[in-house]
Amino acid sequence: MQRKARYSGPYSVSAYNGHQRLAQGHITEVALQLKRTLSEADLATVLVFDDATSDPIELDMSGTEAAVLSRLPALPGSTGDGESQQGGNTHDSEDKVSQSLMALLNLEPSQIAWLQGQGQPPGIVIKALIANAMEERLPRQHRSPAEAENQAAKAAALRSINALAKALPGCDEAIQALHQNDAARFRLIISSWPRGLALHLKKLSDDAFV
């Protein structure tokens, strides 16, 4: 039986201030909501995460709404034509990061190009790749599609907990329940957490437990 997707796609994101979820939805909608409702000081404290993987997403909220949207990670099928003046600084920074990666990791130009094509800063992509490799429990060739999906959802839930819930009551117990595949205990613990975060973890847990 095919499972329903947890979210609308890889560009569905959630924005948090501390433990509280401020917005959730398509990245363009979330970016505009944050820009229109928060002050610059408040924007500096907001963390944005990919809903499916819990990977952090860096958003540059400076400038006009059009400038903010122009700097979002490239959407599937976009041509990348046009660039705002503010956006040029972002690309300059990414070029410097790529040069540093080339020097430190001895990456080939084709590898740098692949990293830059992932829609996020190369450093975040590399950290996500390392984290995923470390979290794997079974060799890929011996893992069924269902096991792979369960493991990916469990890893995403763990990343969200580590990033957003370390100070919440029952955090360690929730992590333990996640590792022990105890769905009932996990959901009971997170039910007392802030609603937005709890809903996000509940969606991930739908695929995290067998």
For the stretch 71-124, pLDDT in tens is 887 544 333 333 333 344 445 544 554 555 556 666 677 777 777 666 666 666
Give the model's pLDDT for residue 90. Answer: 45
**Which pair of tokens denotes residue 30?**
């979330």
Task: Give 95's strand partners.
Answer: none
3-class state of residue 109 by DSSP: helix
**Cβ–Cβ under 8 Å, residues 67 and 86:** yes
**Cβ–Cβ under 8 Å, residues 78 and 119:** no
Q: Classify the phi-psi angles of 126: left when phi > 0, otherwise alpha if psi is within -120 to 50, otherwise beta.
A: alpha
Give the model's pLDDT for residue 83. Answer: 36
Q: Residues 166-208: pLDDT tens digits?
A: 889 999 999 999 888 899 999 999 999 999 999 999 988 888 8
Sole residue written with tokens 């990343």: 159
